[in-house]
Structure 1
Amino acid sequence: MDCRVVVEAAVPVFDVETEDEAIRIAISKTGEMLNPDLNYVEINMGERTSPSGEELPPAFIAADEALVALELEMTVFNVEREEHASRIARKEIGQLLENIPLEVLQIDELEEDDDEDATDTNTEADTSETDGNGSESTVEDTADSADEQTSDDDILPEFEDLVERD
């Protein structure tokens, strides 16, 4: 199973005067730490709320220093369960973001593409062909006539024949 994991990071920023400046610097700083190893991690502004439910800006500034909430999103492939995806994301991101606290906010299981269904529909669509006269012939008929035209020397030997020769 594949999962999309969202991790919240608290990024410290120094010598800033405004929230916008703190957010820009925090995103830039985080991007530098993650790239080029984890360039597939998406960096977004985090959301903060007060205990009463009021929405707050993602940066908290005190004495020209800020703590910025960022959301880091990444896709984790071939995991056994959501807890496994969470551990992998925290480890991958945490190794590069030293001394930055991380918390997993959300884990979404991604729907797997139905490659089998797409293959089945393609096979069904190719089962009939029309020749120049407008009459239909199946792909199997076309394959049989092609097999008749090739000689036995052009066909690859079966696997069992190859094993017996060696």
Structure 2
Amino acid sequence: MPDYRVTLEAAWTVKDVATTQDAIGIAVSEAGKRLHPSAKFVDVDVLVMPCPYCGEEINSALVVARTGIVGLLLSMKVFNAEGVDHAERIAKSVIGRAVRDVPLATYSITACETGEETE
């Protein structure tokens, strides 16, 4: 059975922040705390998106009324899944249990090469 790298996007809210950089820092820190120790194998990154005007990549964070929303990517390797759908369900279950009440959506699922080093 193959292994898959499953990446989920999460909409993380942060209260009482002044800048998007503060919101990003707090969101990554809070996500790390909630994922550790039960899901410490999950990688946390900030979602970047292309700017609609210039095409440069920018962080997906917004602050309005001292409340921020940050797009995070939560990525994990799923071993011995029966298929793509099974790998997705496993990742959503593991990550969802650790970060309750955070909206999650599938960002990408890729099959891992058989010779890839395990994490």
Q: Same fold (TM over 0.5)?
A: yes
Could you tell me how far apart the structure 1 residues matched to 2:53 and 2:89 are?
31
User: Is the alpha carbon distance of 1:85 and 1:65 closer, same or farther for their aligned partners in structure 2, counting shifts above 3 Å?
Assistant: same
The question of whether the paired residues in 1 share the 8 Å contact of 2:6 and 2:110 is answered with yes
Q: Which runs of 5+ in 1 are unaligned?
A: 115-166
Paired letter, 1:23: I
Q: Percent same amino acid among aligned pairs? A: 37
The question of whether the paired residues in 2 share the 8 Å contact of 1:48 and 1:69 is answered with no
Could you tell me how far apart the structure 1 residues matched to 2:7 and 2:45 are?
10
Give the corresponding residue for 1:45.
46
Paired letter, 2:24: I
Runs of 4+ in 1 over 3 A off after TM superposition: 48-56
Could you tell me how far apart the structure 2 residues matched to 1:68 and 1:56 are?
12
1:78-117 residue pairs with structure 2 within 5 A?
78-113=80-115
Larger fraction in strand: 2
Q: Which runs of 5+ in 2 are unaligned?
A: none
Name the TM-score, length of structure 2 as normaliser: 0.88
Give the corresponding residue for 2:25.
24
Larger fraction in helix: 1
Name the TM-score, length of structure 1 as normaliser: 0.64
Answer with 1 or 2: which has the greater Rg.
1
Q: Which has the higher contact order (CA 8 A, sep 6+)?
A: 2
Paired letter, 1:21: D
Say how many residue pairs are matched: 114
Could you tell me how far apart the structure 2 residues matched to 1:13 and 1:53 are?
28
